[in-house]
Chains A and B, each alone.
Chain A
């Protein structure tokens, strides 16, 4: 089960630690083809994501780099299975990237999540400027981070250097404090 890091009122923002869930990076000329064969739909442009019916998020970070985030519903089993089948690095121009070690993962939800993020991030993440399937690779609380929608317009997924996890969590909780948390 994901850990809820901050108790909230009904409409207040909620922060969940998702770092325990599997996630996987793929890079290379054949990465999109590999993901398609595995049953995922690769986004058709960089900085876009697709949401699988089973809940996984597939983030396209550049022309040939992807990050696959496991679904909370099945504790990321589908991504774990894919991870276990990792081919030899460079085979067919495909490289698996161990994102579990490199990135901490948080999920910020609630109606006022945009206001929370506006205190920490220079990119406009309001619905009119930031689609639910959009990604912003930018600076959040002075740390390089990946901000991704959830494909449904209900939450932001945040990936940050794992060494900054504690600092990043404190910065988010601090930013959330004025929005009705208790």
Chain B
């Protein structure tokens, strides 16, 4: 049975986890072009080797980051995302999108 060490809950069966994609840097949503945003949302690097990935522990709803070798499927380490992300990101709609939403839905 394949096991994964969850930083919050300890060693657990891999069936308790859900893969959440590669960890990538998010462009500024207010200044990124559509092409840059689409690249961030849809395109993956998919390297052969060690990659940082988001994983979810289903039972606790806890997201964390794992370093996994995609060639050997060996999980090198897992850690809390707070080690990488130290600031809260608030998404405030731009003036243009707010005006558009108001026009489409006056309520």
Asked if A and B are interacting partners, one says yes
> Are A46's CB and B59's CB within 8 A?
no
Name which of B9, B12, B57 has the most chain A CB atoms within 10 A of its CB: B9
- In the complex, the answer to whether A62 meets B60 with C-beta atoms within 8 Å is yes
- A136 to B8 alpha-carbon distance, docked (Å): 10
Does chain A have a CB within 8 A of B16?
Answer: yes
| Interface SS of B by simple majority | mixed
If A47-B8, A47-B9, A62-B8 touch, whether A139 touches B16 (CB-CB below 8 Å) is yes
Interfacial chain A residues near B12, Cβ < 8 Å: 122-123, 138
Number of interface residues of B (CB under 8 A): 11
Q: How far is the CA of A46 from the CA of B8 in the complex (A)?
A: 7
A159 to B9, CA, bound (A): 16
Q: Which residues of chain A are near B60, meaning CB under 8 Å?
A: 61-62, 137
Q: Does B13 make an interface contact (CB < 8 A)?
A: yes
Q: A46-B8, A62-B8, A62-B62 are in contact. Are A137 and B57 (CB under 8 A)?
A: yes
- Given the interface pairs A122-B13, A138-B16, A139-B13, the reply to whether A145 lies near B59 with Cβ below 8 Å is yes
Scoring A46, A62, A138, A139 by chain B CB atoms within 10 A of each residue's CB, the highest score goes to: A138
Q: Contact residues of A with B, CB < 8 Å?
A: 46-47, 61-62, 122-123, 136-139, 144-146
20 intermolecular pairs with C-beta atoms under 8 Å apart: A46-B8, A47-B8, A47-B9, A61-B60, A62-B8, A62-B60, A122-B12, A122-B13, A136-B9, A137-B9, A137-B57, A137-B59, A137-B60, A138-B9, A138-B12, A139-B13, A139-B15, A139-B58, A144-B16, A146-B59
Residues of B near any A CB (own CB < 8 A): 8-9, 12-13, 15-16, 57-60, 62
